[in-house]
A and B are shown apart, each in its own frame.
Chain A
């Protein structure tokens, strides 16, 4: 009786072991296939502000190709702004880890009611005025005008918020939502 049970058990054990080994092997054979790399789709790598006036075009760019990797964004400013000038501004957001580059600006335009750019100014920049509107008549901030004052140092902070309160009083605090872009540029006004 005991011997029979033992046989039965060892038979079952063997079966389970074979099953386990089989499973192990299938898993191992999967192993040889290396996992696919993931190229982030949700990521904004680049924000580019273009300021145009009669005297020429100034481009401000912040680019962070490693996304949430350790490298900080590379910030470049193509040149100084002219004093007492009104610039026509536009902003672009891109994902440059994809080929071809994904233009996220289009998505922002499509979902304009759920997005807004905010511009913070300091120093020799007087103000930024929105020149576009979403379907509800609230600003988006993809296009704007920027007015410089007297010569000196200036700062411009560009913030893109997802799902902000709209309309809002124009401050980030009132708008809430999540930050998709937040970059500061240091400029010279001549």
Chain B
């Protein structure tokens, strides 16, 4: 800004005095691409306010002749490039080099990724949920929003704890990244949901399969990336506020975001949200103690210049999640009774109070990044991030004196330092390399008075990767990548002497005992894992109609702490969970094909895949153990060879007259190859069909009818036989039997005023489970105890300003 002003003054001062001087000077030079230094032909150069133009030749050169000694403002523009202006004080013949930023999309990387068909550039299947879709789930969870995508389902603990399942895999096999930070949030169990507030992200990308090596090599299932749109360099202030009200749960949420940006590239963003819900209700009864409360805050400040930039990001997430009271059971007889009765044992009147059992989680995330672009090389990034995750779990206590004391109290602290270099100097060939170092500390507070389910440990990780994308020609693109990760887990764990012997650890791990306390042993397991992951793929995009991608990948995942160390009674689940120190890493090989046909308002996408896993780690019911409280089902971690095969189908058509429809179908089959039985917890086939009618003239009116049909899972492992002390005999525990198929109808209608003065308003009404159907889902851990929630009316009001 300073230069044009100076030059303007100089113009005025010099403009007259130079008159009559000899005007024979030459200004010549070359215009080249910033990244790969290739000459840019056809760039237009203008000496501003002189009316003198020229263009560059095929080799990027240009020349102005007959210029007077003067100060000139030279503007250079090129198709696909941002114009640059340069001030030249011409006192003699001068030769200059001008670099133009030819990849203008790099400035708004995220915008490009957020566009309709990201599959065009990657061989793996990648789907984006945009801001509009996400805003519908403002009062819901990440897991719910992701179910819009075919091939993504969820494993739930009731309606509020929702873990995404991608093509049949979940938990540690699905990485979640928030603003380029891999979440480390102890979501080891099925009852631990990812600690993210959906309102703090503008879009969510799902990368099915393990192709995204930059984010981690252990994404056997896939990667979920939550991002914010990059702010543009302009002086502006904007924001939005979303208000939601829900009938089921009788509560609502509010979320607000404000962004300020400056021409200089500086920007600041603040966002906050609050949600409060009481007990949700199934069609026939109140689901007692299923209320929840959530608070989210994010703050970000940064400066994004083209050549360099930095940002500081902080986010806080705090949630109190009630867990269905009836799911807290005493022993196996209680479980048998619950499964047989089909109705919850505890149904209290509606309340907003969140009593035991409940979870309280708090997650702090801080991040500092810096990047710099080097002309003729690429972009270099450095990132440090810090995360602290605090988890409390409160159980129904035997006595009131223990009320308010958690039975699980874990603090997980993670520091990561990573760097990435994207090299774009070669035309049509992008290379990325990066390194990562991470330190993690888990602390289990002994003040709970309950034996630690997860022990204290330190974990160290280092990793490095290289990925490349090669635009072979107009139609073909190839990509490949490799990643290496090393991790060391250094734990201090107490084992009951009886458990230690029962597991046979006294023979295999006698050397790790550091102290014998009589009934307990203090041990120091140190476990090292080296993982190599790789992926490769090709995409064929001959014209705008057809796209085909083939991807193959190999991924290795080290076992997580719960798979290794779980040991003891999970009070809230009334089951004994046993990890195994002998568990090795899990290796996956996956191949997937992605076929897209897109023409004239009709779009079809078919993604078949096969995956072979060796050493697949699963948790399954294996028997019973007796205690003074009776018998408990034992769930053990086991490794096996497994295979998954499935297909995701997506169809969409614009019918005209404002009608459009989408149709999705996904199916996955899982086999335990060692036992030759079906795999446990494989999502049932489902189909989702939606018809939408839009009428712009009526204030952007939109009406949609959605049908979701979930088939019964007919392939499941056998139930177990347990001894029931109450009945005095062996009985079959129908713990694996899936519930019947179900069909839900949802409606939504929306109306908006997009062009109010400096603002826009949109009001939408959603009706979920309109027919108030009673149903249970196979992948809901609470299916043994109660039905899923019934009808829910949600009113959303979105203001943008």
Contact = CB atoms under 8 A, between A and B. Distances in A.
Interface in B323-343: 328-331, 333-334, 337
Interface string A109-142: 0010010000010000000000000000000000
A44 interface: yes
Interface in B579-597: none
Contacts of A44: 628-629
B328 A62 contact: no
Nearest to B449: A41
Interface stretch (B269-277, B391-399, B601-609, B674-682): B391-399
Contacts of B329: 178
Given A20-B415, A107-B399, A111-B399, A179 B629 contact: yes
Interface string B448-474: 111110011010000000000000000
A42 B498 contact: no
B492 interface: yes
A69 to B, nearest CB: 4
Nearest to B496: A69
A100 interface: no
A68 B627 contact: yes
Interface stretch (A30-38, A82-90, A145-153): A30-38
B625 A72 contact: yes
B370 interface: yes
A107 B397 contact: no
A68 B401 contact: no
Contacts of A35: 444, 446, 452, 455-456, 492, 494, 522
A51 interface: no
Interface in B16-39: none
B334 A184 contact: no
A16 B386 CA distance: 12
A34 B499 contact: no
Interface string A164-190: 000000001100111111111000000
A55 interface: no
Contacts of B502: 69-71
Given A13-B382, A34-B522, A157 B725 contact: yes
A180 B417 contact: no
B37 to A, nearest CB: 16
B138 to A, nearest CB: 36
B490 interface: yes
Nearest to B494: A37
Interface of A: 2, 5, 9, 12-13, 16-17, 20, 23-24, 27-28, 30-31, 34-42, 44-47, 62-73, 97, 107, 111, 114, 120, 155, 157, 159, 161-163, 172-173, 176-184
Interface in B490-523: 490, 492, 494, 496-499, 502, 514-515, 517, 519-520, 522
Nearest to B569: A68
10 contacts: A2-B374, A9-B370, A13-B382, A20-B439, A35-B522, A162-B398, A172-B333, A177-B330, A182-B725, A184-B728
A157 B398 contact: no
Contacts of B494: 35, 37-38
Contacts of B616: none
Nearest to A70: B502
A52 B572 CA distance: 38
A41 B138 CA distance: 42
Contacts of B444: 35
A46 B627 CA distance: 10
B626 interface: yes
B576 interface: yes
B785 to A, nearest CB: 13
B628 A45 contact: yes
A34 B514 contact: yes
B330 A34 contact: no
Contact of A67 (B328, B401, B627): B627
Contact of A68 (B337, B446, B632): B632
A42 B499 contact: no
Contacts of B399: 107, 111
A64 B456 CA distance: 27
Given A35-B492, A68-B627, 4 more contacts: A34-B492, A41-B449, A179-B331, A181-B628
Given A37-B522, A180-B398, A62 B628 contact: yes
Question: Chain A binding site: helix, strand, loop or mixed by DSSP?
Answer: mixed
Nearest to B626: A72
A41 to B, nearest CB: 4
Interface residues of B, number: 65
A95 B323 CA distance: 28
Nearest to A28: B458
A66 B499 contact: yes
Contacts of A40: 449-451
Contacts of B520: 37
Contacts of B417: 16-17, 20
* Minimum-distance CB pairs A-B, first 9: A179-B330, A182-B630, A178-B330, A70-B502, A41-B449, A68-B569, A72-B626, A66-B498, A69-B496
Interface in B409-453: 415, 417, 437, 439, 441, 444, 446, 448-452
A65 B374 contact: no
A175 B403 CA distance: 23
A70 B499 contact: yes
A44 B400 CA distance: 16
B735 interface: no
Contacts of B49: none
Contacts of B450: 38, 40-42
Contacts of B448: 38
Contacts of B629: 44, 179-182
Contacts of A111: 399-400
Contacts of B728: 155, 184
A35 B337 CA distance: 39
Given A2-B374, A9-B372, A68 B455 contact: no
Given A9-B382, A37-B494, A47-B628, A69 B499 contact: yes
A5 B630 contact: no
Given A34-B492, A173-B337, A182 B415 contact: no
A21 to B, nearest CB: 9
B331 A182 contact: yes
A15 to B, nearest CB: 10
Nearest to A155: B728
Residue of A66, A114, A178 with highest tally of chain B CB at under 10 A: A178
A23 B400 CA distance: 40
A42 B519 contact: no
Residue of B372, B398, B441, B452 with highest tally of chain A CB at under 10 A: B398
Contacts of A39: 449
Contact of B398 (A23, A27, A42, A173): A42
Interface string B732-750: 0000000000000000000
B117 interface: no
